[in-house]
Amino acid sequence: MDISWIYNIDPLLATFLVALIPVLELRASIPIALANFDLTITQIFTASVLGSFLPAIVIVYWLEPISNVLRKIKFFDRFFEWLFKRTRAKFDKKYALGSNVALMFFVGVPLPGTGAWTGALIAWLFNFDKKQALVAIFLGCVIAALIVLLASLGVIKIFDFIL
């Protein structure tokens, strides 16, 4: 993936935009910004968290209306019926608090596939309370950003055992 475009725009905006990209998210925006831009740690942290979190808001609030429109087509109706039988039908609301805590830690682990995009998809699939899920996802983004920032600055030496 060619990301040379980030050098042609404002560094704060570039950091935010890299954090918006699925899979990359803040796991990439923080080290890229630290290595390439003259921004403060606070600016990098804030732009990265907000960039990672923004898509979660869109996903949590817009996937339901989009899926409802698609369900008017027979193929998609069957697909969503099949999908929700395996997700929403099995999710018990009494586990909601524990599920949101688990969601926060899931998003907070800065590994591929565990970011805000995936967390928002999980929240939608299992029909989590939107506001509670977004709080969990936001806190997860903050946790992940702290871990990535500390690792990038060398405070956490993750790969010492390799060297």
Mean pLDDT (10-residue bins), the chain, 163 residues = 76 96 93 93 97 97 92 90 81 71 95 93 92 97 96 69 51
- The domain tally of the chain equals 1
User: What is the model's pLDDT at position 131?
Assistant: 96
What is the per-residue pLDDT for 57? 98
pLDDT for position 37: 93
Name the token pair of 67.
């899926």
In this prediction the pTM is 0.85
C-alpha gyration radius of the chain: 18
Tell the burial category of 143 from Cβ atoms under 10 Å away from its Cβ (0-12, 13-18, 19+): middle
Residue 92: its pLDDT value, please?
A: 65
Residue 133 sits in which domain range? 9-152
Look at residue 40 and tell me if it is in a domain.
yes
Judge whether 158 lies within some domain: no
For residue 1, tell me if it sits in a domain: no
| Residue 9, SS3 per DSSP | coil
Residue 161 lies in a domain: no
